[in-house]
Amino acid sequence: MTDEPGARPVVSRRRLLGSLGVATAGLAVAGVASAAAKDTPASDALGDIVPFRGDHQSGISTPAQERLQMAAFDLTTDRVEDLIGLLQLWTVEAELMTRGELVGPPASSPLSPPRDTGEAEGLPPSRLTVTFGFGPTLFEKDGEDRFGLASQRPAALADLPPFAGDELDPSRGGGDLVVQACAADPVVAFHAIRNLARLGRGLVVMRWSQLGFGRTSSTGASQVTPRNLMGFKDGTNNLKLEDTAGLAANVWVAPTDDPAWMRGGSYMVTRRIRMLIETWDRASLDDQQQTIGRRKDSGAPIGGTAEFDPVDLSAHSATGAPVIPADAHIRLAGPASNDGQRILRRGYSFTDGMDLVTGQLDAGLFFICFQRDPRVQFVPIQRRLSRQDALNEYIVHVASGLYAIPPGASPNGYVGETLLS
Ligand code: HEM
Please list the pLDDT of the chain residue by residue as tens digits (421 residues).
333 333 444 444 544 333 333 333 333 333 233 333 333 334 456 679 999 999 999 999 999 999 999 999 999 999 999 999 999 999 999 999 999 998 987 888 888 888 899 999 999 999 999 999 999 999 999 999 999 999 999 999 999 999 999 999 999 999 999 999 999 999 999 999 999 999 999 999 999 999 999 999 999 999 999 999 999 999 999 999 999 999 999 999 999 999 999 999 999 999 999 999 999 999 999 999 999 999 999 999 999 999 999 999 999 999 999 999 999 999 999 999 999 999 999 999 999 999 888 889 999 999 999 999 999 999 999 999 999 999 999 999 999 999 999 999 999 999 999 999 9
pLDDT of residue 364: 98
* The residue type at 246: G
Distance from CA of residue 70 to its chain's centroid?
8
- Scanning 66-130, the segments in alpha helix (DSSP H) are 80-98
Q: Measured in angstroms, how far is the CA atom of residue 206 from the centroid of ligand 1?
A: 29
User: How far, in Å, CA of 35 to CA of 51, rounded?
Assistant: 6
Is the Cβ–Cβ distance between 203 and 77 less than 8 Å?
yes
Q: Report the Cα 255 to chain-centroid distance in Å.
A: 23
Rounded to a whole number of angstroms, the distance between the first and last alpha carbons of the chain is: 39
Q: Is the CB of 232 under 6 A from ligand 1?
A: yes
Q: Which helix (H) or strand (E) holds 136?
A: helix 136-139
Helix (H, G, I), strand (E, B) or coil at 199: helix
Predicted confidence at residue 112, as pLDDT, reads: 86
pTM of the model: 0.91
Q: How confident is the model at residue 44, as a pLDDT?
A: 53
**What is the whole-number distance in angstroms between the Cα of residue 329 and the centre of ligand 1?**
7
**Residues 300, 306: contact at Cβ < 8 Å?**
yes
Protein residue with least CA distance to atom 10, ligand 1:
234
126 φψ region: left (φ > 0), alpha (ψ -120 to 50), beta (else): left
- pLDDT score, position 104: 84
Q: Separation of 333 CA from ligand 1 center, angstroms?
A: 6
Question: From CA 87, how far away is CA 336, in angstroms rounded?
Answer: 40
Q: What is the distance between the alpha carbons of residues 35 and 56, in angstroms, rounded to a whole number? A: 12
Could you tell me what percentage of the chain is helix, strand and coil, using 3-state DSSP and rounding each to the nearest 5? 25, 20, 55
Ligand 1 contact via 230 beta carbon (within 6 Å): yes
Calpha distance 407→131 (Å, rounded): 10
* Number of the ligand 1 atom closest to the C-alpha atom of 237: 15
- Which has the closest alpha carbon to 382: 362, 397, 360, 364? 397
**pLDDT of the residue at 196:** 97
DSSP assignment letter at 233 = B
From 123, 106, 135, 120, select the one nearest 192 (Cα to Cα): 120
- Answer yes or no: is the C-beta of 250 below 6 A from any ligand 1 atom: no
Q: Is 381 in the pocket of ligand 1 (CB under 6 A)?
A: yes
> Alpha-carbon distance 141 to 390, whole Å?
37
Cβ neighbours around 168 below 10 Å, total: 18
Long-range residue pairs from 141-146, CB within 8 A, at least 24 positions apart, any chain: 141/176, 146/75, 146/78
**CB neighbours of 196 closer than 8 A, spacing ≥ 6?**
71, 90, 93, 94, 130, 179
| Per-residue pLDDT, 40 | 36
Neighbours of 135 (CB within 10 A): 23
* Beta partners for residue 67, in sequence order: 183
| Burial class of residue 77 (count of CB atoms within 10 Å of its CB; 0-12, 13-18, 19+) | middle
Distance CA(261)–CA(271), nearest Å, equals 26
Residue 334 CB–ligand 1 contact under 6 Å: yes
Atom of ligand 1 nearest to the CA of 395: 1
**CB of 395 shorter than 6 A to ligand 1:** yes
